[in-house]
Structure formats: C-alpha cells, structure tokens
Structure 1
Amino acid sequence: MPDRLYLEQFGNVHALPILHYRMEFAHLVREAFDTVKPDCIALELPQTLEQQFLRGVRRLPEISVLAYHVAAQSVFLIIEPADPLIEGARLALERQIPLHLVDIDLDSYPSHPEQLPDSYSVQRIGLEPFYREVAKLYRGIPPGEEDLRRERGMAYRLRQLSQQHERVLFICGMAHLERIRRDFDAPQAQPLTRTHREGITIFNLHPECCHEVLAEYPFLSALYETRRSPLPPEPAPGGPSLRKSFNAFELILGGKQSIPEEEALAESVQRSAHRIGPEGELPDRQKIMLRLFLEAARHYRQETGDKVHFWQKRAFFRFARNYALLSRMLLPDLFQMLAAARGCLDDNFAYAFFRLAAHSPWQKETSDIPTLRLSAAELWSATKRIRFRPREQVRAKGLSRLKMMNRKKEKRPGDWLEGFDDPYICSFPPEDLNIEEYGRNLKRIGARQLSEEASKSEPFSSSLLDGIDMRETLRNIHEGKIYVRENKRLKSGVGCVVVILDEDKEGTKYPYCMTWLGEHAQESDMAFYATPPTDNIVGPGISRCEYGGFLLSYPPRRMVDVWHDPDYRYALGKAEHLLMAALDYSLEKDVVYAAAKPPRSFLKQHAARLGKRIIYLPLGSLSPVALKKLRAFHILYGRDKRDIAKDYIW
C-alpha cells in the first residue's frame, strides 16, 4: 500500500532506505518505482561486479552466487528474488532504464553485528516511523573509516547522476542514508577506488543449499517470485498428491503413473500464492507462515494418514511466537518454526514442513553455469543445527535414519500394483500386538473406573479400611474428622472393547467396513471401518489405511460379518453398529466404549435388556499419542507380504 512507502529526497534523488535481503523492502522497491517513475536507478553495490551481477539477475528466478577472492578469503553475493537491491536491478532491466552501481569496491570490510527491528513491523506501521527509529539507533554508533569512504564515494556518484537525469531512484541501506544525504550537499572529490576486479565467477546455487544460505527461506521467496508476475490459475482441489492410489482401470492399464514430488510441492506454492492476499499487495508474513503450515499438514496427512488437530496447530503458532519473542523478533524464522513443528507435532511433520519450506521450484542441480554447494557456516558467523529423529532407530551402533526420508519407491510405474493379485488379505503382526495390548489396557481402565464409582468414603471409627482418603479429609477439615476409603472390587470382567476415533456421520470418509477373525488363541476377533485400501499404496501388495473405529472381541473365531447382520439394523451410524455388536458378542457383563460422545440412552436400555453394562470412556481422557500410533494400520494382500512388509512400513 502507498501509505507504507517513504522516500528521502535530496535534489532530484529519491532515496529508499532498506534492510538488505528482506521481502517487505523488495516490495517497497516496486512501489517506489511506480511512485517516482525514475529515469535512472542507483544501487548500493560496487561497479566492479556489474557484468556478472547483471548476468545473475537475468537468470532469475534461478538463484545465482557471485564469488571472488580477497586476501585468501572467499566473498559471496547471493542473487535471490526477495532482496530489494536485486528487485531494483530487475526493474531497471525489465523497464529498460539505466542502472548504476554506485558503491566503491573495498578489499576489506568489517562485520557489524546489529540487532535491528523485525522487518515485519513495516507491514503494520509503515516505513517512515521504522526508518526514524533505525536512524536514531545508528546515530549512537560511530561509523568506521570504511563506511565513511563508501558513503563519500556514493554521494559523489549520486551528484553526477543527478546532473544527468531528472529523477534518480537510489536504493540504499538504512545505516548509510543519513550520512550520504549530508555528504551529497557538501563538495566531494572523486574517490580513489578499484575500477576492475579479476576472478569474479558466477555459479548456480545447488537446490539442497537454498534453505541454508538464503536470507528468506525458499518457500517465501518462491511466493514472492510467483506474485511478481500475473498469477497463474489456482490449482484445482485434488491435484497432485504425495499418496499413491489405484483403481480397477489402472490395474488393467498397468498401474498409476508416479507423480514427481517436485510437482506436488510446486502446486502448493501456486495455491498459496493465491491465498495470501490480493494480487499486487505486499504479502503478509503471517499468512505465508499459515499457508506453509496448512500445506505441510496436507502433505503430512497424505503420507502418514495422521491428521493435524486444532490443538496442535494452536500449540505450534503459540510456541513459534514465543520463541521469536525471546530473540526480540515479531515472527519466527525457519529454524524456530522447525523447532516448533518438531516439538508440537512430531519429526515426520517437521520433515514435511522442512521439505516444503526448503523447496524452490525453479532451482535445478544442473544449469548452463557451474553449480556450487554452499553451507551456512561459509556465509554466516553463527549457525544453528536441528536434527529430525526417527520414530525407530536402526540397531546398529551409531546409525539412525528417518524412514520417511528413505522410504522405498517404485522401480517402474505400476510395479507395486503387481503384488495385489492374491485374493486373501491379512494384517501386519506388530500392529496386531499393539492393538491387542491397547485393548487390554482399556479393559483395565474400565474396570478401575467401575471400582472407583463403587467405592465410598466415611468418617474413621474403628477401621482404616483401604486407607485414609486425603481428598475427603481436606474437604471436610472443618469437621475435625479423618475420612477413610473403602474400595469395592469389580466382580464381573470386561468383555468387548469399542473405540470410535471418528463417527463418520456422513458415511463417506471411512467407507471400508471389514470383520477379521483372530488367527490364534491370543488374538481377538475384530470389526472396523476405515479408509479404503486403494487410497494409499506403500509397497507391493501393501496398503496403508486409517481406522475410523474398531471393535475387539475375545475369545476369537466367533464373530460373523457384523456389517451385514440384520440384528443391528436399528443402529444410527457405524459407531452404534459396532457398539450393538459388542453388546451382542461380549461374554462378560461390561463393555468398554471409548468415543468423543457418550452413547444414546436407547443403547443403554438395549444393554440393560441384554444384561450388559456400557462403561463410557471419553476419548479426550485417553492418550492422544497412543491413539495416533494405533490409528494407522496396514493391509497385506497375501501372507507372503509379511516377510517384506517391514521394509515399506515406517
């Protein structure tokens, strides 16, 4: 918006104060260009770099690196889209107006560690108050001799340009502008400086280095680059997916063609570019951060089947905000967001978040110029490292890997679909052990809940019974009595267990209904509803599904197909269907029912008529981590797949 823009004017020079490598100021350069309509643009860069610098600008949106050596040290200049100096050079080339690099070339320049305000505040308060505060900060810092030389040299060049052009747009760092303005009005001699430098080389930046060396993380730079030009059409819902699926026609035709991962990531960038604000306006970092989170959550669900819940989203943004405030910034950087993603969700989500945040759609490993790998340690004095830890570590000493990052892929399109020719399906034994143990744990919780409901407290008279009830004693401390507790033991056992993770009221989210019989005496019969096996193929003859709800009944080999049993025709939905079947098949009086909502009174009456009782456990009282581990399961098409399943299931 124009009210965010502020220009310092001296003579016919219109100076825009900037912070280097910040997206907000790159956008302000575009606004300044449209406002001033200059016939010349001057940049705070040395003229000795001009030839290779312009070559790198013309390569955009591919990112380039200028490199040269000074006193056995390497100097690098990153040419990235979201930098205001680069944006000024691009505008000059696109509009075909003169471009001048007015800084002087020094062999040495000291490093200045500075604690500057977050550039996001320009989005809220505008550039003028922001610049006034920064200029006030720099007035208290005495300038070095190198700074004074550069500022006098730039003032001299600007005076020359002002005599040759009507309107000069000067893009300059905030630390120098005030002194340049002062020197502009004073007589200046032509500075003694280097006019030519040998050994300047331009490289293509390796795509795997973008997240380390770019000042703005690649996802943000990609959004800025996409919005520089007219936006392409927004991708339709249900576009490229990271999940592989199939149907009967694909089996006939030889299988579904694999979708490159880069295509799905690029589609996320295009969709986000439409949803962070009207075209032509300054993108809001908060909206970009939200879109990055939502797109990462979508990819995370496609690959793992796990949904990102609202409370996890709220915890992520609260953690990231507080982390940023600790470093005196308004919004978090990429490292802080990754730390929040790993801490508030898990390592797999953090990797999905990182993979999208580090993706630059136009950057390729091969190019018309040599490709260079750079690390953050080669550019910045202080770096931080974050590690993604796997859920399961390899047993070999000193080795660990994230299975999600090293998952197997098809050798050729349709390769995995050849494993679905076996008509018999079975489960993955480690997952069976987990769910059986969880069912036994729910039985213990249900029995303990009944015991607590039957227990009572009374004032101490002659017996301590099962011990002093401290809670009741403190509650009635005014009576001056000690209360003791008598725990009633549950006489009957708990039979079936029903867990409802999603009621699926519309009946479309979990259409796959199945009844499984236990394979041996230690395994329960099971009925469940889940996502279709055809939705996510993870290996040859191996499908990944997600439970909506399930029923466990012990002893095994007794359950018929409950989904076609006419006795349960009065059930309203799949959840009630499973509960009615549990009441019917339970050999014990009590049935555990874990769900977000308690059962209807009709079902309680139905249980009473059968001589049964429903123990309701609120889903929120159970561990979300344990439920998350159980929610995803795998269907194997043939027992022979059990030998290879461990290589495809992570």
Structure 2
Amino acid sequence: VIQAVSRLPKLTMLCLNHDNQDTYAYIPIFPSDSMIEGIRLAKDNGLSISFIDLAIKDYKVVEAFQSPDDYAINTIGLEKFYDLNRQYLPKSDNQTDNKRESNMAFHLNRLSKNFERVLFIGGMAHWENIREHLVQQTYMFHPHELEMINPPFLAKPGDKALFSLLEEIPYLVFNYEIARRFNLPYDKWQTIIKLLQEVKSLPLIEEENYNTREMNNLIDYAKKLAHIDDEIIPDLYNLLLSAKQTLGDDYGIELLDLSMKYPFKEDDNLPIINLENNNFTMGGKKISLKRSLPDFAMNTLPDNQWQKLELIRKKKDEIPDDYISEWFDFGFYSHVPEDTILENFIDRMENKVINEMVIQPKIHEFSGSLMDGLELRETIRNFTNKKIYVKEFKKEKISIGAWLMIFDDELSAIKYPWAMSLSAEHHNESDIAFYATNPLLHPVSRQIIKAEYGALLAFKPPLADNKKISWEDIDIMEDLRIYQMTMLAIDLCTTNGILYIASKPPEPYFYKIAAQKNKKIYYLSLNKFSNRNLKKIKRFHLLKTRKTRNIADDYI
C-alpha cells in the first residue's frame, strides 16, 4: 500500500488473488479515496501510520447504505453530517464486526498513549461501537485470520476502465490533485462549472457560441436531475444527459471526452486493467474484480446495472491539403434537413407576423356588441351625450412573399466573401440569395463544407425563371449589400408583404419605396428569437454531389 501511495498522483490498484482463479480483490490507491488521503497526509507531514483493522477470512460486508451527498459537509460540517446519517446506518452487530471493532478500539487506545493526537479514518457504521469500546474499556486484541493468497501485485487502470474503477469523474480527481499539490481551495461544484466552461471553449464547440442563458439551462437541468436522485451534485450520467437534452450530442461527447482526462500517467511495466464489452480484462484475459475495501456508492444501482445514454459521435475524415480544387468541378447541393428547418422557419414567421401585426382599432357606437372591448376615452369624451363606444381590431390580410434576414449589420466582404443564389428544387422550397462566410475554410469532410449566413434573402413561392436572382445582382460593394438585398426584396416580391428581420429596422425610405409599389415591409427584431434557433438558421452545409446527401447525416 505504501509503495502504491508513493506513486500518486499516478493511479494504482493493489490486487490480491486467493485461489489462482481470474477473480481479484483490489484496494484502490486513488487520490479520491479517504483512507488513501489519510496515508498521504501522514507521509507529507512525517507522521506515523498504523493499519488497525482486523483481517477476517471470508468477511461478508454489511448491508449496503447509500449516504446523502457528502458535498453537504461543506455547508453543515462533518459532525452534523454524521449525526444525520447515524440513525440510518446498517447495524454491525454480528460477531465478526464486533471482533473488528474491539480490535480497532484496542489499537486506538494503544496509539493514544503514545501520541498526543490520533486521526482515525474508518467507516461510519463502526464508529459508535468503537467509541463504546473505548469508553467502557471493553476493547480486546484479536489476531489476524490468515489465509493463503498469491503474492499481491500492483496494476493500473486503463483508459476504458478509468471511470468505472475510479468511482469519480477523472477530471474532478485531476483538479483535486492540482489543488492539493499547490494548496489551493477545492470545491467540487465549482470544478464541475469549470469543466462545463472548458468544454464550451474547445475548438469544436467554441464556434457554437453558447451564451450564458444556454449554459445556465444545462446547469439547472443537471441540478434538478441530481435532486431527483437525492443528490446535491450531479454525477457524470446526469451531466451528460443534461448536455444532450439542452445543447446536443456534440457538446455531450466533448464533455464526456474531457471528463475522462486524467493526465498523470507513465510508461511502466505494471499490468493494465481495462474494460471491454462491459467486462474487465487484464493481459487480454477476462477477469472479475471485487473491491477489497467496500464502497457502498458502487451499489446504488439495482443489481449494479449500467445506465444507458446514447451519444452519437459524428464521423471525421482525413482532409487532404488540395481538397479545395476538387470542389470546382461540381455544383453545390444543400443539406435537406437544413432546407426543412429554413422552410419551416419561413412559414412560422409569416404566421407570427399575421398574429402580431394589427391595424389601429376602429371605434363604433355601442349597438348591442362589445366587439373587442370598451373604448374608454371615447366613452368618457361623450359622457354628457350618454353614449358608449366600443373598439374593433381587424388583422391585416398579409401575404408574405419575401423574407430578408440580416444576421450581421456589418456585411464585410472579408468576413462574408461568398455571394450566391440557389434556386428551389420544387414548388414548396424557396429561392434564396445570401452573403456567407467562406465554406471552403470550414470543411466537414471531403464532400461537405460548412458556412454561416451574414444575410439571407428568400422568396416563396419561387421566382419565375426570368426573375431569378443572378450572381451579378448581389456582387456589389459591401457598403451597399443591405441596400441591394432590400431593393431586390421590394422589386421581386410577388405578394404585397415583405418581412424584414434584423437587429434594427430598415431605413424609412424603404417603407416609402415599398408603398409606391403597393407593398408593405414588416419588421421583426432579431431579439425576438432565441440564440439557439438563430444558430439553426444561420449555419448551413453545402454538399459536393447529390449522392452526398445519402451520407451527410453521418457528418452533420
């Protein structure tokens, strides 16, 4: 044990084999284990260490007990935490446990005579009986029950078995080790927040630009799941489930990968214990493991069953340096699910405008119907005439034919060098024209590239063939890009309604130009839409061939 502790922060398992079978009892020598921390404290401070438990042959562990989340100790203190647990602890009143407790009390009494202060680290279920032995002086020395075992050996957990054996998120153990080494404060919950923020900053996730509200939704969801499980701090399963449900599989996968990082490793000759198909293996052979020092936290699931959570990891291709040249031999094809998202958004926005846009109310003298309510001002004004007036709201008959979405007011040619128009593939799709980032700089695979709209103009129903937008129509100086798109919307819209979505409304003269052509511009602020919904609309992919659509879902 002392040898393994000396290897920390590298992780070690002290393995014991009793019968030459492939079943091993093991003692975890991990930073997250309280007994190991006690040994480290003694070694760091040059203090004596005494192992006082009694070896019992064929010892049977007392009934499993899941204590409340020990994070509560930070708030209520250790003594209060113990007092709250004490009445629920399994009773250790069998003869074997009595011998263990009597023996431990004997050694504690012996040590207290030789040392001014003694730190005892042991199980809560045994402390009351040990203390009673000390008070009543009924303690007694008992010899170890020896049994034949093969020579113990040290092993180390492999990457695949790390979480199962460590019984804690490896990232948290790593941060605890750093805090311990440099005498820094450590708070488990704050470290989880740090973990979530680090995932947000990873290259594959940073471009999502998750805002504070989205991150808080993840955190709140994880805390609620923890409370359902009668815990204060969410475990890895609840963190991953929360990430999947709020931010999606991509964030969840990056969270899983970072959670499993434990960098303290070395190349040595210790055997590696790994996890393959839910079975532990060592040296390619299937083995069984049994924790020698029982940890009741491992028994919180019925029959020790795994909890399943599906996270889909998208495929990644090796992309050659010269892949760009291949694209110019083909046309471009859209990704059908993104087409559906865009078309559904367009339809919803038309309904939103119809529901929100109302004309000024018409006022009528009351004649039997309250219509849309009492018009108080007009009624008060005519109080002397003893007349009552009511108001009537009539929604405009709106038919939107053009949708202009300005996602970025600064449509610079440097940031959005791509100007393109795409025609609808069928009558239920829109013709679109847009300014976008350069997708060739953001390859997803050799056949898929990714970009983001700076501005998007859509027409539905599609324009007639002689009215289609050409590249020359939108190839214009960057200062005139918004002007040009607005004028195209006004000129080419086949109905009387144009929806303008941007952070600020269009210039007043655009309303006048539209009115001269018997059309009307309706404005909706970008602030009316969630950041997540805007991301779904702004981001798009281009496919090299139509056949690429068959595999696009594996990458996007």
Answer whether contact 2:402 2:457 (CA < 8 A) is retained: yes
Alignment of 1:590-629 (within 5 A): 590-601=497-508, 603-605=510-512, 607-608=514-515, 611-619=518-526, 627-629=534-536
Post-superposition CA distance 1:304-327 (Å, at most 9, x none): 953434333222222222333334
CA shift for structure 1 position 296:
2.5
Partner residue of 1:430?
Answer: 336
Partner residue of 1:144?
Answer: 93
CA shift for structure 1 position 191:
1.0
Change in 2 beyond 3 A, CA 1:190/1:380: same
Answer whether contact 1:439 1:552 (CA < 8 A) is retained: no
Pair 1:409-2:314 in alignment: no
More displaced, 556-565 or 220-229? 556-565
One of 433, 453, 477 as aligned partner of 1:547: 453
Separation in 1 of the partners of 2:153 and 2:300? Answer: 23
Separation in 1 of the partners of 2:274 and 2:554? Answer: 34
Answer whether contact 2:335 2:549 (CA < 8 A) is retained: no
CA shift for structure 1 position 221:
0.8
One of 183, 189, 202 as aligned partner of 1:286: 189
Answer whether contact 1:104 1:193 (CA < 8 A) is retained: yes
CA shift for structure 1 position 92:
4.3
Pair 1:83-2:2 in alignment: no
CA shift for structure 1 position 541:
4.8
- TM-score, normalization by structure 2: 0.75
- TM-score, normalization by structure 1: 0.65
One of 198, 215, 226 as aligned partner of 2:149: 198
CA shift for structure 1 position 507:
6.0
One of 490, 495, 515 as aligned partner of 2:420: 515
Answer whether contact 1:451 1:489 (CA < 8 A) is retained: yes
CA shift for structure 1 position 497:
0.9
Separation in 2 of the partners of 1:409 and 1:560? Answer: 32
Partner residue of 2:286?
Answer: none
Partner residue of 2:12?
Answer: 64
Answer whether contact 1:503 1:548 (CA < 8 A) is retained: yes
Sequence identity, in percent?
23
CA shift for structure 1 position 598:
4.1
Alignment of 1:340-489 (within 5 A): 340-362=242-264, 368-373=270-275, 379-380=298-299, 382=301, 383=304, 385-389=306-310, 404-410=312-318, 415=320, 417-418=322-323, 420-423=325-328, 426-430=332-336, 433-434=339-340, 437-438=343-344, 440-442=346-348, 444-445=350-351, 448-449=354-355, 453=359
Partner residue of 2:294?
Answer: none
Change in 2 beyond 3 A, CA 1:509/1:564: closer
Answer whether contact 1:219 1:359 (CA < 8 A) is retained: yes
CA shift for structure 1 position 386:
4.5
Change in 2 beyond 3 A, CA 1:328/1:156: same
Separation in 2 of the partners of 1:166 and 1:648? Answer: 66
Partner residue of 1:183?
Answer: 133
Alignment of 1:194-343 (within 5 A): 194-195=145-146, 198-199=149-150, 200-230=152-182, 280-299=183-202, 302=204, 305-343=207-245
Answer whether contact 1:135 1:175 (CA < 8 A) is retained: no
AA aligned to 2:450 is R
> Where in structure 2 are there 5+ consecutive unaligned residues?
281-288, 291-297, 377-387
Alignment of 1:156-175 (within 5 A): 156-162=106-112, 168-175=118-125
AA aligned to 2:142 is P
Q: How many residues end up aligned between the 2 structures? A: 515
CA shift for structure 1 position 615:
1.7
CA shift for structure 1 position 283:
1.3
CA shift for structure 1 position 388:
4.1
Change in 2 beyond 3 A, CA 1:446/1:133: closer
Separation in 1 of the partners of 2:339 and 2:234? Answer: 42
Change in 2 beyond 3 A, CA 1:409/1:559: closer
Separation in 2 of the partners of 1:144 and 1:317? Answer: 43
Separation in 1 of the partners of 2:430 and 2:527? Answer: 25
Change in 2 beyond 3 A, CA 1:140/1:444: closer
AA aligned to 2:476 is D
AA aligned to 2:439 is P
Separation in 1 of the partners of 2:161 and 2:39? Answer: 24
AA aligned to 2:336 is P
Post-superposition CA distance 1:423-468 (Å, at most 9, x none): 3662335256326623651564267348865997989989x9xxx9
Question: Secondary structure of 1:360's partner?
Answer: coil
Post-superposition CA distance 1:270-307 (Å, at most 9, x none): xxxxxxxxxx23312221121122222334x7259534
CA shift for structure 1 position 81:
1.6
Separation in 1 of the partners of 2:506 and 2:14? Answer: 68
Change in 2 beyond 3 A, CA 1:87/1:447: closer
CA shift for structure 1 position 220:
0.7
Answer whether contact 1:513 1:563 (CA < 8 A) is retained: no
Change in 2 beyond 3 A, CA 1:507/1:338: same
AA aligned to 2:40 is R
Post-superposition CA distance 1:185-229 (Å, at most 9, x none): 626432132256514454322322333343321111121123333
AA aligned to 1:631 is K
Answer whether contact 1:69 1:75 (CA < 8 A) is retained: yes
CA shift for structure 1 position 620:
5.8
Question: Secondary structure of 1:108's partner?
Answer: coil
Answer whether contact 1:324 1:336 (CA < 8 A) is retained: yes
Answer whether contact 1:63 1:204 (CA < 8 A) is retained: yes
Partner residue of 1:102?
Answer: 52
CA shift for structure 1 position 112:
3.6
Separation in 2 of the partners of 1:187 and 1:75? Answer: 32
Partner residue of 2:295?
Answer: none
> Where in structure 1 are there 5+ consecutive unaligned residues?
1-52, 231-279, 390-401, 476-480
One of 518, 523, 528 as aligned partner of 2:434: 528
Question: If you compute each CA radius of gyration, which structure gives the higher value, 1 or 2?
Answer: 2
Change in 2 beyond 3 A, CA 1:447/1:88: closer
Partner residue of 2:383?
Answer: none
AA aligned to 1:83 is D
CA shift for structure 1 position 587:
4.1
Post-superposition CA distance 1:84-123 (Å, at most 9, x none): 2222333445566543322112222333443534322333
Separation in 1 of the partners of 2:555 and 2:75? Answer: 47
Post-superposition CA distance 1:146-165 (Å, at most 9, x none): 44322222232334445555
Answer whether contact 1:420 1:540 (CA < 8 A) is retained: no
Partner residue of 1:237?
Answer: none
Separation in 2 of the partners of 1:70 and 1:577? Answer: 82
Separation in 2 of the partners of 1:418 and 1:366? Answer: 42
